Amino acid sequence: MAKFSRIAIANRGEVAVRIIKACEEMGLETVLLHSEADINSRAFRMATKTICIGPAPTAESYLNIKANIDGALAGGAQAIHPGFGFLSENADFAEAVQKAGLTFIGPSAESIRSLGDKVHCKELAKRAGLPLVPGYQGENQTVAELIKQAEKIGYPVIVKAAAGGGGRGMKLIRDSADAAELIESAQREAQSAFGSPKVFLEKYLDRAKHIEFQVFGDSTGNVIHFFDRECSVQRRHQKIIEEATSPSLTDDLRRRMGEAACAIATLGKYKGAGTVEFLLQDGEFYLLEVNTRLQVEHPVTEEVLGVDLVKMQILTAEGNFVHDPKLIRSPRGHSIECRIYAENPYMGGVPSTGLLGRIEWPEGPGRRYEYGFSEGDTITSFYDPMIAKVIVWDESRSRAIQKMIRVLKDSIVFGVHTNIPYLIEILSHKEFVNGTMTTRFIETYFADALKEPELTESEKKMIESAMAELRGSPLASDPTTTSPWASFWRGV
């Protein structure tokens, strides 16, 4: 049984901060493996030790297996936590970590290959009798064969990267006219993002809900699930708002889907935190994929169950965690997570970069913030534009929605645009409030950019006062002055 005293973190941003906090509570030191662009980030300031592993481009730093392992060894770590994204689902990395004498905090390389490869996972699920969306996962990857298979499945068809995730390498083909172009585009994007051009096809379900189950395999290989999350609010196949538990499941459906999730994880000999994703339409569910890592939306599960999944990951990697049936609880209340992106909602969500000024996340009961940036940090164009996650908990779904809207309205991010106004519009929409939204919710109701509202007189005065305060200017006492900085106010 291993015993860690120092853990390396092969990641950045809010997930790096999340792991550092878990390690601190466990009395463990941390080594942040960071790029040149992330010097002086929040995680950089919090970690026990920091080691630069390369320049800003991810291929030369966060995706560089050798640089990460060399950094962990130089930092005196015994284990590496990969977070999510980057190398977190890379079986070669997990294997290389073990060969270097370190412990990979996650499933085995064998499990990642078995379940993380979307095509192999579907073959495994098919043999186990799990329901699958009709599709094609064959080895013939010529464009002509893929078009032939798409027509056999019937349009619309979605093409996905076999080694992908996060919406990368994913294209929706509505008819044969654009099939060749979209397939070739998906293959190029898959090669660029994941190092493999392999893709597969699925029938596109146009009224589906995205439901996922948090599974966890303990140190003995015993797999249980920690209930479900609904992630139907997606833009360009990327989740924006997640909640636990789903408002769409009956007790019977929840039981059957949970059993299916545990079955596929058990077949993959899974240890640690993972997520089994399904599509649900007309009362029938279909396996979508398995994510062999911690999920971005894991906090909503933690909030309704009172567990700490990152601590459990670390204890499992030490061979020191076994599920205790007495401590396995039922979900309590409801939790919602919103992803805060640095982007302009009034220009269709184009990324917004720059220096962060004043930031305020309003504290209060049932509120939680996961963020990797603080005042004075810079949002660059090198990485994902997500700057924070806001999580709320309350006794019912309706109260959690109202709490989230209030929290977002009271949040202040100064210096870049954010999607906060966009999130408030979504949370206030009747379909979201009723829980009837599908994965086409954004496409149907929020395809266009938001109309930028006129500032009220009180907001203009508040902006002037804040800007003057930042500049140390006497304008603070003259709130009527019109400032050219007014358009840089990003709070609500």
Cβ neighbours around 489 below 10 Å, total = 23
Examine the pLDDT at 477 and tell me if it is beyond 60.
Answer: no
Give yes or no: residues 89 and 157 share one domain: no
Residue numbers of the domain that contains 169:
135-203
Pairing mode, strands 284-291 and 79-81 = unpaired
Among the candidates 178, 203, 228, a domain finishes at: 203
Residue 57 in domain:
yes
- What is the per-residue pLDDT for 481? 38
Q: Are strands 412-413 and 359-360 parallel, antiparallel or unpaired?
A: antiparallel
Same domain, 219 and 198: no
Q: For residue 460, what pLDDT is reported?
A: 80
Question: Are both 198 and 259 inside the same structural domain?
Answer: no
Please state, as a whole number, how many other Cβ atoms lie within 10 Å of the Cβ of residue 328: 12
The two structure tokens encoding residue 351:
């990324």
100 and 144: one domain?
no
Average pLDDT, the chain: 91
Question: pTM score, two decimals?
Answer: 0.89
Distance from C-alpha of 186 to C-alpha of 167, rounded to nearest angstrom: 11
Tens of pLDDT along 289-307? 999 999 999 999 999 999 9
The domain tally of the chain equals 3
Local confidence band at 36 (pLDDT 50, 70, 90 cut-offs): very high
Q: How confident is the model at residue 473 (pLDDT cuts 50, 70, 90)?
A: low
Which CATH number characterizes residue 311's domain?
3.30.470.20
Domain end marker among 170, 188, 203:
203
Each residue's pLDDT tens digit, 138-165: 889 999 999 999 999 999 999 998 876 6
Strand bridging mode 354-355 / 378-379: antiparallel
> 38-76 pLDDT, tens per residue?
998 999 999 999 999 999 999 999 999 999 999 999 999
Q: What is the DSSP letter of 273?
A: E
185 located within any domain? yes
Residue 117 lies in a domain: no
pLDDT surpassing 50 at residue 22: yes
Q: Classify residue 113: in a domain, yes or no.
A: no
CATH code, domain carrying 53: 3.40.50.20
pLDDT of residue 192: 77
Angle at 103 between CA 102 and CA 108, to 5 degrees: 130
Residue 456 inside a domain? The answer is no
Assess whether 241 and 142 both reside in one domain: no
Residues 156 and 292 placed together within one structural domain of the fold: no
Residues 250 and 158 occupy one common structural domain: no
Q: How crowded is residue 356: how many other Cβ atoms within 10 Å of its Cβ?
A: 19
CB atoms within 10 A of CB 73: 17
Burial class (CB in 10 A: 0-12, 13-18, 19+), 140: exposed
The pLDDT tens digits of the residues spanning 69-123 come to: 999 999 999 999 999 989 999 999 999 999 999 999 999 999 999 998 888 888 8
Residues 150 and 227 in one domain: no
pLDDT at 463: 77
Q: What is the pLDDT of residue 489?
A: 40
Going through 282-358 in order, the beta strands assigned E by DSSP cover 284-291, 334-341, 343-344, 350-351, 354-355
Higher pLDDT, 127 or 278: 278
- pLDDT > 60? residue 487: no
The CB-side HSE value for 485 (13 A sphere, CA atoms) comes to 18
Q: Are residues 373 and 293 in the same domain?
A: yes
Sign of CA dihedral 399, 400, 401, 404: positive
Residue 329 lies in a domain: yes
- For residues 73 and 125, the model is more confident at 73
In the predicted model, is pLDDT for residue 478 greater than 60?
no
Task: Please give the positions annotated as active site.
Answer: 293
Q: Whole-angstrom Cα distance, residue 160 to residue 167?
A: 8
Q: Quick check: is 114 in a domain?
A: no
- Say whether both 218 and 195 belong to one domain: no
Check whether residue 297 and residue 194 sit in a common domain. Answer: no
- Check whether residue 199 and residue 213 sit in a common domain: no
Q: Which CATH number goes with the domain that contains 144?
A: 3.30.1490.20
pLDDT reading at 486 higher than 60? no
The per-residue pLDDT for 488 is 41
Question: Quick check: is 128 in a domain?
Answer: no
Q: What are phi and psi of 412, to 5 degrees?
A: -130, 125
Q: Which of 131, 327, 337 is nearest to 224 (CA)?
A: 327
Looking at 154, 175, 203, which one is the last position of a domain?
203
217-258 pLDDT per residue, tens: 999 989 999 999 999 999 988 899 999 999 999 999 999 999
